[in-house]
């Protein structure tokens, strides 16, 4: 059986703006410039498009998992409206080591920098992780991709230099992405040129 390949994409700061406030309502979904054409080019080249996002808003009690699904359904709708493909799959980690909601206060395998979401996607969708790429705007995205065996792209943005997110393990600050750029459009160009 031939395994597929994917581009795994962080949400905030790569697909939608990562502003100070959390994205809590479908009507607030906005796409960053160039996202639609970049996703279309990757899809045309044969990559599955898989969203992998830490969403501690659930652990903090600001959204339910069902409400988070509604936001992602709206995100896919806006992508299609923009002439882009919808995501082939969406994986969201609702956990946080210090969650306000006790059910989500776990040291899970899915919260990046752990690679659980990527590994699950690879199992469920028969993906070759070594032929796949993780694109994110934080070191935790790069670490998750590297731990899964993917090439990695860091999209520099407002949160790239912010303090690291809370994790259940230390973060190795020496880890570097295979490529660094400033937009998903730039990331897509590098991915397509370096196949």
The model's pLDDT over 15-63, given as tens digits with 9 standing for 90+, comes to 999 976 799 999 999 999 999 999 999 999 999 999 999 999 999 999 9
**Residue-wise pLDDT tens digits, 53-94:** 999 999 999 999 999 999 999 999 999 999 999 999 999 999
Domain of 27?
5-193
More confident residue, 195 or 16: 16
Q: How many CB atoms lie within 10 A of CB 27?
A: 7
| The token pair that represents 175 in the structure block | 């880890």
Q: How many domains does the chain have?
A: 1
DSSP state of 33: T
pLDDT digits (tens, 9 = 90+) for 93-132: 999 999 999 999 999 999 999 999 999 999 999 999 999 9
CA-CA-CA-CA torsion sign (195, 88, 91, 29): positive
Q: What is the pLDDT of residue 1?
A: 65
CATH number at residue 139: 3.40.50.1000
d(CA 143, CA 145): 5
H or E segment to which residue 118 belongs = helix 116-125
Lowest model confidence (mean pLDDT) among 37-41, 133-137, 174-178: 174-178
């Amino acid at each position: 059986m031939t395994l597929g390949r994917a581009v795994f994409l962080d949400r905030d700061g790569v697909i939608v703006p990562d502003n100070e406030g959390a994205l809590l309502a479908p009507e607030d979904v906005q796409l960053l410039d160039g996202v639609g054409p970049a996703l279309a080019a990757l899809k045309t080249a044969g990559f599955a498009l898989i969203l992998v996002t830490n969403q501690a808003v659930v652990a903090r009690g600001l959204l339910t998992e069902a409400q988070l699904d509604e936001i992602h359904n709206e995100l896919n709708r806006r992508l299609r409206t923009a002439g882009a493909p919808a995501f082939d799959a969406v994986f969201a980690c609702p956990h946080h080591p210090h969650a306000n909601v006790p059910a989500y206060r776990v040291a899970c395998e899915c919260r990046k920098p752990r690679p659980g979401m990527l590994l699950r996607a690879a199992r469920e969708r028969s993906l070759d992780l070594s032929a796949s790429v993780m694109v994110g705007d934080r070191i935790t995205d790069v670490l998750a991709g590297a731990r899964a065996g993917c090439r990695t792209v860091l999209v520099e943005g407002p949160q790239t230099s912010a303090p690291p997110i809370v994790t259940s393990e230390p973060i190795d600050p020496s880890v570097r992405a295979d490529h660094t750029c400033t937009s998903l459009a730039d990331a897509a160009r590098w991915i397509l040129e370096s196949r």
